[in-house]
Amino acid sequence: MSIKLGDTAPDFTADSSSGEIKFYDFLGDSWGILFSHPADFTPVCTTELGFTSKLKSEFEKRDTKVIALSVDNVEDHKKWISDINETQNTDVQFPIIADQDKKVSELYDFIHPNASATATVRSLLIIDPEKKVRLIITYPASTGRNFDEVLRVLDSLRLVDNYKVTTPANWKNGDEVIVPPTISTEDAKELYPKGVREVKPYLRFTPQPNI
């Protein structure tokens, strides 16, 4: 199965370091991040899981639940979490799915045969409260994920959903946002009371509406 943007994220039940996980129940009405790892006790992934753990309060502020996946078993996950906590000076509290039979990996297209016939690629999905896939990023095994970018995209998606705007290149929280081309300048001036800055008829900016 190939997962694409806009698809409904498949539901599943699986064992994890925190017990049995029913994915939709775990997410509830929150945003979700599901990210896969090739194996336990790998150095790049150890730093990633540690950094993710340190961002716990940032994800909570964004009403976002985080869950990881690796093809190793629950006992290995628990031993790995101990290593992560020790080496990264943190306390991992989010679950790591045990996907030994690769059912979840195959469901989410985490197995890329040209990269590895057995190990999962390092993909990350952002899933919205309607269970729609809103972001897919796949990294090579050698390069750690940029979680500042993950938070940036999460902020952008939440802003786009709550206000009729889009975000420009390198946007970060607090910057100007773009008025979508589907909204006329006349309507934009009513929709965005902070003002509209027109560069071209199709390129118009307004201050971030929720600040």
What's the pLDDT score for residue 49? 97
CA distance 111 to 179: 39
**Element containing residue 151 per DSSP (H, E):** helix 147-162
SS3 81: helix
What's the pLDDT score for residue 117? 45
pTM given for the model? 0.93
Q: Which residues are catalytic?
A: 45
SS3 20: coil
Residues contacting residue 33 through CB under 8 Å, at least 6 positions apart: 59, 64, 65, 66, 67, 124, 125, 126, 127, 150, 154
pLDDT digits (tens, 9 = 90+) for 52-77: 999 999 999 999 999 999 989 999 99
**Element containing residue 32 per DSSP (H, E):** strand 31-37
What's the pLDDT score for residue 121? 67
Q: Which residues does residue 123 pair with via DSSP β-bridges, in sequence order?
A: 138
Q: Which residues of the chain have pLDDT under 70?
A: 1, 112-121
Which of the 8 DSSP states describes residue 180?
Answer: P
What's the Cα-to-Cα distance from 74 to each of 17, 35, 71, 210, rounded to whole Å?
5, 17, 10, 42
What's the pLDDT score for residue 122? 82
Q: Specify the length of the chain in residues.
A: 211
